[in-house]
Amino acid sequence: MKKMSVMKKIDNITPFSCMGIALVAFSWLAFFLAVFGLFRAWIIILLAIGLLAAFGYAIFRWQKKARLSWDFSLVLIASLLAVLIFSHFTSPTIFTGRDQGSLSNAAISLAENHKLTSSFPAEKEFFKIYGAGEALNFPGFYYTRSGDLISQFPIGYTAYLAAFYAMFGLTGLIVANACAFFLFLLSFYTIAKKYLEPKPALVALAAIVTSFVFSWFFKFTLSENLALALLWFGLSQFLIFLEEEDWKNLLVSLLSFGLLLFVRVETIAFLAVMALMLFLKYKKHKPTFKKIFLRREILAAASLIVLAFLISLVASSAFYITFFKGFLNSFLDKGDPSGVAHPLITSTLYILRVFATYAILTYLLLALAALFYFLKKKEFEKLTPYFILLPAFVYLIHPSVSLDHPWMLRRFVFAVIPTCILYSIIFLKDLLKKDVIFYIFSFFLLLTNLMIFSPLLGVQENPTLLPQLGALSRNFQDNDLILVDRGATGNPWAMMAGPLNLIFKKQAVYFFNPEDLKKIDLTKFNKVYLIIPDDNLNAYEKSGLLANLITTKSYSLENLALNETDRTRKEIYTSPVIVPSYLKNYIYGKIYLLRQP
C-alpha cells in the first residue's frame, strides 16, 4: 500500500472552517458594539441567531459536496466531550484580586452598562481622592478623566465574554471559553493532520486534551482562552492559503489575527513573521502578489483592522498605558532587590523546573530537537507554524508574569505549549520509523500527562462562595456604602467587592486606606459599613478607626484556595517546585457600622 504524503492538502471547505468564521465574525461584531457603546443584549442575540443560521446553511451546502472523514468525526466527538467535561468542573471566576476576576467584572459591566465605562456613587467618591489613572480600589480598572471606571485589559476578550454573558448570564462566561477551546481543538488537529497521518495526529490531540495546563486555564476567564482559538484557527487558514493560494483563506486568517491584536499583544510579532514569509514567497511573483494582496476584500480587511486599532487607542487607552508601563518597567529594571544573581538565567532555570513538575519539559526538549532536526534536513515548510510562533518562546527567558505557579504557565499556554506538543509528535513520528515504537513512546508521554491532569481535573475555584455572598449581601441596602477589607473572604485573590457591586448591586468598594474615610462625603450614603475579618483588625486599631465602629453582625465564609504562601523572588527560585493543592478554608469576621457624627 502506497504511503500517504506527509504534506497533505487541507480541505478548506469544512464545518470546522465555517464554525471558525462564525466565531471570528461574532467576536468582531461584539468588539465594535463595545467601542461604539451599542452593546445591547437584543443586538447580540440577533447577531448570534443570524450567524448560526448562516453557519447551518454553510454546513448544509458542504454536506452536498463531501462527507466527514472518520478521523474528523472522531475529533468532533472527542473535542465536544472534552469541552463538556471541562465545563462541568468549572465555576465562573468573578472574584476580584487577579486578572480573571477583573476581566469577568469588566465583561459583566459592559453587558449591563452597554458601554466600556461605568460609574456609581461610591466609585465617584474615591475618584475625588485619587483622580484619573489606576483605580486602586477597583483592581483591574482605571479612572477616566471624567471619573468613570474602564477596564485596563484589551477590548477583544472583554467584549467576547460580555456577549456570552448578555445571552446566558454567569454561565455564559463558561460557554465563552468552551466555544473558544472547541475551535482551538479542531484547529490544532487540522494543522497536525497537515504534517501527520490521522492516527499520529490523534495522538497529538490526545496530548493536548490530557495536558494539565489546558484543563486548568479553561477554568479561568483569561485572555489566553480566546487567544488559543484565534491564533490556531488563523494559523490553520494561513497554512491553507500558502498551499492553495486562495485569497479567501488569507482573508479569514487576516481577520482572525487582526482580532487577536486586541486580545494578546504578542500578535504583533506573529504578524511580522507572517509578513516576512509572504514577502519571501512572492517577491519574485509580482502578478500573483497583486492578484491576491491588492484585492478589495484584503485591503478592506486590513483597513478594518487599522480602523479598529485607532478606535481602541481612544476607547481603551488604559490598556495601552498599562501595557507600556509594564513593558518598560520589566526591561528597564536597574536591579533585583531580591539579591538573585543572574536573574535571567535563574528565571529560565526556574521555568524549566516548573515545566518538569507539570509534565511539560519533555515536550519542550523534543520540540527544540525537532527544530534543529528539520532545519538540518532542510524541511523548512514543515517548520512554518514553528517559525511564526517562535517569538513567544522569548518568555522562556523573560516571562514578565508573577512567578507563582501554575499561574505563571499562562504565558506559555496559548502558543509555546501547543507548539511543543505538536512538534514533539511530528519529530517522534519522523524519527521513530517503526509505528510500534512511536506508539509506546507516545503512551508514556500521555501517561505522564495524566499523572498531573487527573488529580486536578475536578478542582473548581470557589464553587460555593457566590451563594454565600448572596446571603451576606442581604444585610445591606442599595444606598449603603460597603467598604470591604482585602482578606474578607479569606483569600486576597478572591475579593468580594466586585461581585457585591456587579451581581448584587451594592455600593461595595475594596478598602485599604482608613485615611480615605476623612475625604469621602459620607452624607451621600444611608449607612457606611465595613466588612473586616477577625484576623486583620490590627490595621484598623492602629489607625484609630476601630473605635468608631459598631459591630452589627458576625459572618463566616468557606472558600477554596491554593495552598501557597507569599515568598520573595529568591525564595521562589530556591524552593522545591511542588504542585500546589487546594485547601478548604473558613474565615470569620464581622460587619461593622461606622459611627457617624
**Contact yes or no for 561/490 (Cβ under 8 A):** yes
Residue 414 maps to a domain: no
Q: Give the residue numbers spanning the domain of 291.
A: 15-95+158-339
Quick check: is 263 in a domain? yes
> In this prediction, what percent of the chain has a pLDDT beyond 90?
68
Distance CA(586)–CA(22), nearest Å, equals 45
Q: What is the mean pLDDT of residues 371-380?
A: 95
Q: Looking at 339, 361, 396, which one is the last position of a domain?
A: 339
Among 339, 359, 380, the domain boundary falls at 339
CB contact at 8 A, 225 and 232: no
| One domain for residues 474 and 331 | no
Sheet with 149-151: list strands edge to edge.
117-118, 149-151, 141-143, 133-134
Burial of residue 361, with CB atoms counted within 10 A of its CB: 0-12 exposed, 13-18 middle, 19 or more buried? middle
In a domain, 8, yes or no: no
Q: Round to whole Å and give the CA distance between 320 and 303.
A: 21
Q: Which three cell numbers stand for residue 523?
A: 452624607
Taking 70 as the threshold, does the pLDDT of residue 17 lie above it? yes
Hey, what amino acid is at 183? L
Q: What is the pLDDT of residues 216-232, one digit of tens each?
A: 999 999 999 999 999 99
Tell me, what's the pLDDT at 335?
45
Helices (H), 265-332: 267-282, 286-293, 296-315, 317-331
Determine the longest span between alpha carbons in the chain, in angstroms.
92
Residue 14: per-residue pLDDT: 65
Pair (332, 476) in one structural domain: no
Q: Please give the Cα distance from 220 to 87 (Å, whole number).
A: 11
The domain boundary, picked from 285, 314, 339, lies at 339
Do residues 176 and 42 share a domain?
yes
Report the DSSP beta bridge partners of residue 133.
143
pLDDT at 277 over 90: yes
Determine the angle formed by the axes of helices 416-431 and 435-457, rounding to 10 degrees: 150
Q: How far apart are CA 104 and CA 97, in angstroms?
A: 11
Cα separation, 170 vs 175, in Å, equals: 9
Q: Is residue 582 part of a domain?
A: yes
Please indicate, yes or no, whether residues 162 and 306 belong to a single structural domain of this protein: yes
Q: What is the pLDDT of residue 7?
A: 37
Q: Rounded to an integer, what distance in angstroms lies between the CA atom of residue 226 and that of residue 387?
A: 21
Q: Total domain count for the chain?
A: 2
d(CA 6, CA 249): 21
310 and 168 in a common domain: yes
Check whether residue 25 and residue 164 sit in a common domain. Answer: yes
Higher-pLDDT residue of 333, 26: 26
DSSP string, 532-586: EEGGG-HHHHHHTGGGGEEEEEEEEEEEEEE------HHHHHHS------EEEEE
Q: Residue 13: CB partners within 8 Å, gap ≥ 6?
A: 62, 65, 66
User: In 188-336, where do the E strands start and end?
Assistant: none
Q: Is residue 109 part of a domain?
A: no
432: cell is: 521513530
Mean pLDDT for the chain overall? 89
CB-CB contact of 162 with 169 (8 Å): no
Residues 476 and 329 in one domain: no
Provide the pLDDT for residue 334. Answer: 46
**Residue/partner pairs of 374-380 with CB below 8 Å, 24 or more apart:** 374/427
Flag whether pLDDT at 202 surpasses 80: yes
**pLDDT digit string (tens) for 135-173?**
999 999 999 999 999 999 989 999 999 999 999 999 999
pLDDT of residue 82: 97
Within a domain: 143:
no
Q: Residue 494: inside a domain, yes or no? A: yes
**Is 211 found in the same domain as 71?**
yes
pLDDT tens per residue, range 405-418: 888 999 999 999 99
Q: Is 11 helix (H, G, I), strand (E, B) or coil?
A: coil
pLDDT attached to residue 575:
78
Give residue 330's pLDDT. Answer: 57
Give residue-wise pLDDT tens across range 72-109: 889 999 999 999 999 999 999 999 988 999 999 999 99
Q: Summarize the confidence of residues 452-480 as an average pLDDT.
A: 92
Q: Out of 29-33, 189-193, 291-295, 326-330, which region has the weakest mean confidence (pLDDT)?
A: 326-330
Q: Which three cell numbers stand for residue 510?
A: 475594596
Does 65 reside within a domain?
A: yes
Q: Average the pLDDT over each of 58-72, 255-269, 500-514, 519-533 and give the range with the smallest value.
A: 58-72
Tell which wins on pLDDT, 3 or 223. Answer: 223
Query: So what's the pLDDT on residue 64?
Result: 60
How many residues are present in the chain? 597
Half-sphere exposure (CA, 13 Å, Cβ side) for 491? 25
Choose the weakest-confidence range: 40-54, 85-99, 222-236, 281-295. 281-295
Side by side, the strands of the sheet bearing 549-562 are: 507-510, 481-484, 528-533, 582-594, 549-562
**pLDDT band, residue 576 (cuts 50/70/90):** confident
Task: Identify which of 164, 154, 169, 298 has the alpha carbon closest to the alpha carbon of residue 227.
Answer: 154
DSSP 262: T
Q: Hey, what's the cell of 274?
A: 507572517
pLDDT number for residue 331: 54
Cα separation, 366 vs 389, whole angstroms: 16
Q: Which three cell numbers stand for residue 48?
A: 448570534
Question: How far, in whole angstroms, is CA 94 from its chain's centroid?
Answer: 14
Task: With H, G, I as helix, E, B as strand and everything else as coil, classify residue 170.
Answer: coil
